[in-house]
Structures are given as structure tokens and as C-alpha cells.
């Protein structure tokens, strides 16, 4: 990766390069190449093969790249910023939003204005033409590692949100039991817990069933 570009992204996302020694113990990664220039594609494919990657496929325009990537599901895509059709930045944004694969943006030059646009498009890494073999591997691994880190973070957030939602549902069910049965909060909780254990389902499912019963009693649909 170009030094200035890597520094810009490191500062922007507070990220660090992965330990590349780990890659020697990993299965061969599949890389998709999207570039309108046939000569650039050939050169990049050669560099990828020499570096130990497998070329999953290639495309010369944005629509073709998106169709192929959805079908092939490569480990990473290398996308030229001037890709005909939607443009490289928009392609990368779609890849990230749809969680298809991480992407490396390729450009002839990288200005700060382009860096800002790349951040908005959720670009994880970039390369400056002409691409060197020395920059290729760390840039690809940089993109993949931080993509995987983002996926894990999203999963943690999803789990936290689910726990919070579960807590809210259980609290509502406890309140209903306390009012309808005239029991304490601790007793209501233990009742939900016991039914959960007896039926082999989650406390949230029991709580939702209790609230459903409450709704029927109130005449709610």
C-alpha cells in the first residue's frame, strides 16, 4: 500500500496491519479483479498468483463485477476507482453494505479529497498504480483483517441489542405477573425462569407468551 495512503487510513480508522506470518498457515485466498484496462488486469493477476493468491475472476465494468462477485463470493476484491458504470467507489460501497467481501481500491493517485470519499464509501484499503508486489500482500491482508474485525464488532453489537431487548420483554412480563398474580418481582422472575427450564426454551420466549396472553385478555389483536 502507498505509504501516504496507508498512513491516512491508519489514522482515520485507528487500525493496524495484521501479522502477515499468520497468512502462511492459511488456505489460499481467492481474489477478484475489477479493472477496465486489460493490461492492468493481466499484470495484477500475475502479481497475485506469484504472491500465492488464487484469482477467482475478473471484470471490466461495475455491473459485471457486482454480478460476478455475488456469484463467486471471493475473499477480497481489488477494484479500480475508474471502473466504468457505477465507478469503483460505488462498487466498493455496495460490497461493504451487502457484506459480500472486503475490497481494495486502486487509483492512479490518491488525494485527500479521494481519501474522504473513500471513507464515505467504506473503503478499507487502497493501492496506488503501478502496484508493486511489495505493497500487494500487506494491503490485501489489511483489508481482510479489518473487514473481519468489523463483522465481529457488528455481531457483538447485535448480541448486545438482543440482550437488551430480551431484558425489556422479561421486565414487562414480570410486571404483568406481579400485577395479575399479586407476587413479588423476585417471584415473578423465578416463575418465568422455571417455566423456561421446564419447557426447554428461552426466558424471552416465555415472557413473549405471557405478554401475548395479556394482549388477548385486553382484547388486543
The answer on 77 and 55 residing in a single domain is yes
Q: How far apart are CA 133 and CA 47, in angstroms?
A: 6
Where in 16-89 does DSSP place strands (E)? 30-34, 54-59, 76-80
pLDDT of residue 122: 66
The answer on 176 and 88 residing in a single domain is no
pLDDT of residue 125: 84
The answer on 88 and 193 residing in a single domain is no
How far is CA 110 from its chain centroid? 24
Residues 6+ apart with CB under 8 A from 9: 15, 115, 124, 125, 126
**What is the number of domains present in the chain?**
2
Domain range enclosing 203: 156-217
The answer on 174 and 119 residing in a single domain is no
Q: Which of 154, 181, 206 is the last residue of a domain?
A: 154
The answer on 90 and 182 residing in a single domain is no
Taking the chain (221 residues) in runs of 10, the rounded mean pLDDT of each run is: 45 44 62 94 94 94 95 95 90 90 88 74 80 90 88 89 91 90 90 89 89 64 47
Q: How far apart are CA 30 and CA 75, in angstroms?
A: 5
Q: SS3 for 144?
A: helix
The answer on 98 and 36 residing in a single domain is yes
Q: How far apart are CA 135 and CA 128, in angstroms?
A: 9
Amino acid at each position: 500500500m502507498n505509504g501516504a495512503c496507508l498512513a491516512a487510513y491508519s489514522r482515520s480508522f485507528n487500525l493496524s496491519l495484521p501479522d502477515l506470518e499468520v497468512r502462511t498457515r492459511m488456505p489460499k485466498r481467492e481474489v477478484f479483479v475489477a479493472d477496465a484496462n486489460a493490461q492492468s488486469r493481466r499484470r495484477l493477476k500475475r502479481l497475485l498468483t506469484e504472491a500465492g493468491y488464487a484469482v477467482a475472476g475478473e471484470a471490466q465494468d461495475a455491473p459485471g463485477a457486482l454480478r460476478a462477485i455475488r456469484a463467486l463470493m471471493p475473499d477480497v476484491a481489488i477494484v479500480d476507482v475508474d471502473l466504468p458504470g457505477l465507478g469503483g467507489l460505488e462498487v466498493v460501497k455496495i460490497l461493504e453494505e451487502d457484506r459480500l467481501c472486503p475490497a481494495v481500491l486502486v487509483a492512479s493517485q490518491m488525494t485527500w479529497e479521494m481519501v474522504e470519499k473513500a471513507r464515505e464509501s467504506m473503503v478499507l484499503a487502497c493501492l496506488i498504480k503501478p502496484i508493486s508486489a511489495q505493497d500487494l500482500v500487506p494491503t490485501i491482508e489489511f483489508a481482510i483483517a479489518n473487514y473481519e474485525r468489523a463483522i465481529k464488532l457488528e455481531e457483538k453489537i447485535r448480541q448486545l441489542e438482543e440482550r437488551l431487548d430480551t431484558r425489556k420483554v422479561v421486565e414487562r412480563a414480570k410486571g404483568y405477573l406481579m400485577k395479575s398474580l399479586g407476587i413479588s418481582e423476585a417471584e415473578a422472575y423465578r416463575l418465568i425462569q422455571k417455566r423456561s427450564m421446564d419447557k426447554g426454551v428461552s426466558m424471552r420466549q416465555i415472557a413473549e407468551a405471557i405478554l401475548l396472553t395479556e394482549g388477548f385478555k385486553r382484547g388486543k389483536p
